[in-house]
Each structure stands twice: as structure tokens, then as C-alpha cells.
């Protein structure tokens, strides 16, 4: 059944976008221009003067800045189909995706990336499936990793003027790519031309190890750009666990707790948590590892033949980002 694969495709795009260009640099002017409601901090229980703390800053992007992102996802989903009290069928699917993309800023205005070139050296998907007839969870079908439409290709992305300007995507020759390719690139490069919500919230703040805070919904929804298909972020809490140095940069490691839900024709729910590592001086997210349960419910078919699809599963995803600043004379 293709339905679980469709859900996995939506989720991997959503989670990958969470620290895509959203974790990039932002100009001080763009952050100051947006008013954000103050979030409530829960301070650490210890008042020890030796408690570690970190102050966050921001750094404008420059022409030629380079970001390399490695994204991996595994999602297991068990689907049960029922018509009233009758069991129509059930199956279980595991989807694994792996992607490496390289983003280079090709136009910068006011410290914000307005255009970029994105390359996909690697983008694969693998699936295994077991239907209701399989015994002891035996796999009834296992597929070799296959290339996603964007693998091995390069795209040029440019945001039209204005906060809500359209993101235009072309191939290297200036032609519009096929829809399936364009949809992937648009979703993953959504933050071109937009401010970094983490910098907008954290820059200028000093946070102690043990402090917790919940991001305002308007910012949380921009960090995790789930879109209409998966609903909205209902809860996004960060707790500072430790301050460390990674690749020569001072970093803050947060425990992130994220909940999202959609309550339309398809009801979905996602609840994941794990470490989110942010560079202190730039508010760039360099690493995130999230896992947790995912569930969905949907009615399919016509009135006389309708049946309920109920899915439960587990999502595990990781994104690692490396930044290389352009060298200018």
C-alpha cells in the first residue's frame, strides 16, 4: 500500500525543513522589525554561581556562504483498516530516507540570503512492508534504496521581494524542473529570503543550564514548517542541558520537545523529542536528533463503502549541518 509511503514523504520534508535555512544567519535589522511576544522562562533550580550559562548572538549571511546538510529519517507505521466493526486489513511499513544537500548563497540583501544554489549529491528512499498475512512480523517485501527525483541535480532558488514573496526554482539552465522535483526543493528551501526564527528569539538572551522556555506559536510554526498537510506545532519547548564546543564553536545543547497536530479530514499527531544543538554566536542549528510516536486517522472511500484507516508508528530523524563562511578580501 502506498499510503504509508506518502505519510513518510510528508514527514521527512517537514522535519528536514526545521533546520534548513531556518538555522542560517539573519541580519539584526530583520529581527528587530518583527515583534514577538515574550516567552516565559523557567529558571534552573540551582542558584549556584558556577552554573553554566550562554549568551546568544547573530551573524549576517554573506555572498558565498555554504551550508552542507545531512538528513536521515526512519519511520515505522502500522495501518489498520476497519469498516464499522469489521477488520478490512492491516499492514506495516518501514521507510528510510537519506539525503545530503549543499546550499551556497548566491544573493544576499541586508544580511539575509535571498537566492541560493542547492545541490543534492545524495537523496534516496528505501521501504520494507509486511501485510496482515505475514507471520511473526515477517517482511513480505523489501526494496533496495532508490534515488529520489532530486538526486544528483542542482537547482537555483530565488525569493521574490517581500516577506511573502514567491520562491522561484529553476534548474541550472533556467528552466522550471518537473513538479515532483520542484515540490521537494520549495519545501526544503522555504527559508530563503526569510529571517531565522531561532535568532529572532534567542539573540541577545543569556540562558543558564537547566532553564526551560516555550517558543511562541508564531515562531514555533516557522521553525517547524509543517504546512497544511500535517497541521501546526502546538508545543515547542527547549531546555538548555549543557554548553560545549563543537568544531571550534561554542554551542548550546537543548532538549527539544515538539508536538504537532492536524484536525481536518485527516487527523494526525506527532510528538518527538531529542537534542537540538545551536551555535551561540550565530543561533545556527548544527545538529538535531528527534524521535517519538506518530499517529493518524482518516476516513476513506465513498459514503456506502467508507472505512476508517488508523495508523500508529514511530519516527526517528537526524539532521547535521556544517557551515562554511565565505572569505572576502
Each residue of 202-222: pLDDT tens digit?
Answer: 999 999 999 999 988 878 877
**Structure confidence at residue 89 (pLDDT):** 86
Q: Which residues contact 206 (CB under 8 A, 6 or more apart)?
A: 53, 54, 55, 56
CB 182 within 8 A of CB 169: yes
Q: Is 91 helix (H, G, I), strand (E, B) or coil?
A: strand
CA dihedral sign, ordered 232, 185, 98, 255:
negative
Strands (E), the chain: 41-42, 53-55, 66-83, 86-109, 112-131, 141-142, 146-147, 154-159, 167-171, 206-208, 212-214, 232-246, 249-263, 266-279, 285-300, 307-324
**Structure confidence at residue 164 (pLDDT):** 77
- Which one, of 13, 70, 11, 35, lies nearest residue 195 by Cα? 35
Tell me whether strands 112-131 and 53-55 are parallel, antiparallel or unpaired.
Answer: unpaired
The residue assigned the cell 515540490 is 183
**Structure confidence at residue 45 (pLDDT):** 42
**Structure confidence at residue 323 (pLDDT):** 93
Phi, psi of 321 (to 5 degrees): -125, 140
**Structure confidence at residue 136 (pLDDT):** 53
Each residue of 32-58: pLDDT tens digit?
Answer: 443 344 444 454 444 444 569 999 999
Under the phi-then-psi rule, with left for phi > 0, alpha for psi from -120 to 50, and beta for the rest, what region is 49?
alpha
**Structure confidence at residue 41 (pLDDT):** 47
Whole-angstrom Cα distance, residue 192 to residue 287?
20
**Structure confidence at residue 186 (pLDDT):** 92
**Mean pLDDT per 10-residue segment, the chain (329 residues):** 43 42 48 42 46 91 95 91 86 91 95 95 90 53 83 97 87 96 91 87 94 87 66 89 93 94 81 95 93 89 82 92 83
**Structure confidence at residue 7 (pLDDT):** 44
Amino acid at each position: 500500500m502506498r499510503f504509508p509511503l506518502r505519510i513518510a514523504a510528508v514527514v521527512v520534508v517537514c522535519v528536514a525543513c526545521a533546520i534548513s535555512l531556518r538555522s542560517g544567519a539573519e541580519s539584526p535589522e530583520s529581527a528587530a522589525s518583527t515583534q514577538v511576544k515574550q516567552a516565559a522562562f523557567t529558571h534552573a533550580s540551582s542558584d549556584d554561581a558556577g552554573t553554566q550559562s550562554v549568551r546568544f548572538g547573530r551573524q549576517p549571511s554573506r555572498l558565498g556562504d555554504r551550508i552542507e546538510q545531512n538528513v536521515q529519517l526512519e519511520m515505522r507505521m502500522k495501518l489498520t483498516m476497519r469498516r464499522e466493526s469489521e477488520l478490512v486489513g492491516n499492514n506495516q511499513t518501514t521507510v528510510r530516507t537519506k539525503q545530503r544537500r549543499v546550499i551556497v548563497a548566491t544573493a544576499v540583501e541586508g544580511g539575509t540570503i535571498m537566492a541560493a544554489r542547492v545541490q543534492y549529491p545524495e537523496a534516496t528512499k528505501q521501504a520494507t512492508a509486511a501485510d496482515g498475512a505475514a507471520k511473526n512480523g515477517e517482511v513480505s517485501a523489501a526494496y533496495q534504496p532508490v534515488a529520489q527525483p532530486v538526486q544528483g541535480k542542482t537547482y537555483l532558488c530565488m525569493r521574490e521581494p517581500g516577506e511573502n514573496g514567491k520562491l522561484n526554482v529553476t534548474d541550472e539552465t533556467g528552466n522550471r524542473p518537473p513538479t515532483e522535483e520542484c515540490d521537494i526543493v520549495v519545501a526544503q528551501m522555504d527559508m530563503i529570503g526569510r529571517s531565522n526564527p531561532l535568532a529572532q528569539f534567542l539573540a541577545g538572551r543569556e540562558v543558564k543550564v537547566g532553564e526551560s522556555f516555550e517558543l511562541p506559536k508564531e515562531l514555533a510554526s516557522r521553525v517547524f514548517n509543517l504546512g497544511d498537510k500535517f497541521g501546526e506545532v502546538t508545543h515547542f519547548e527547549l531546555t538548555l542541558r549543557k554548553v560545549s564546543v563543537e568544531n571550534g564553536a561554542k554551542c548550546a545543547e537543548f532538549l527539544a520537545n515538539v508536538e504537532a497536530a492536524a484536525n481536518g479530514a485527516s487527523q494526525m499527531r506527532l510528538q518527538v523529542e531529542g537534542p537540538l544543538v545551536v551555535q551561540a554566536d550565530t543561533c545556527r542549528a548544527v545538529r538535531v536528533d528527534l524521535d517519538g510516536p506518530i499517529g493518524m486517522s482518516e476516513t476513506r472511500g465513498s459514503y456506502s463503502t467508507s472505512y476508517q484507516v488508523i495508523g500508529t508508528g514511530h519516527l526517528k530523524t537526524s539532521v547535521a549541518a556544517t557551515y562554511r563562511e565565505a572569505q572576502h578580501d
